[in-house]
Amino acid sequence: MEIRLVLKIKSYQKYNSSPLSAPLSSNPRDPFVTINSRGEIIWAGTVLENAIDLSKIYEWLCFFGSDMEIVYPETFKKKFQEYCLQKIRNIC
């Protein structure tokens, strides 16, 4: 299944050093990037929602920390939050 993911990224430096700025694979597809009036990067791309691709995307998103917000879809945001909580549990 494919989903259209929309992110708000607050750190231009982190964005430029992330895989989202120049994806090497076909996932995410059809990226669109713009900057809003507050200087935040709005990124949208189509991602495959399977286990292998999702774990890569989750790791990319973890890279941003609090400098990133998942704007859409809400279901993806909840799954990512669950992933982060599980990751913290595994560390502790």
Could you report the per-residue pLDDT of 9-38, keeping only the tens digit for each?
998 888 887 777 765 455 678 889 999 999
Closest alpha carbon to 63 in 7, 25, 2: 7
List beta partners, residue 3: 47
Domains of the chain (ranges, CATH numbers) = 2-91 (3.30.70)
Q: Which pTM does this prediction carry?
A: 0.82
Q: What's the DSSP call for residue 22?
A: S
Q: In the predicted model, what is the mean pLDDT of the chain? A: 86
Residue 49's pLDDT is 78
The string of pLDDT tens digits covering residues 34-51 is 999 999 999 999 888 776
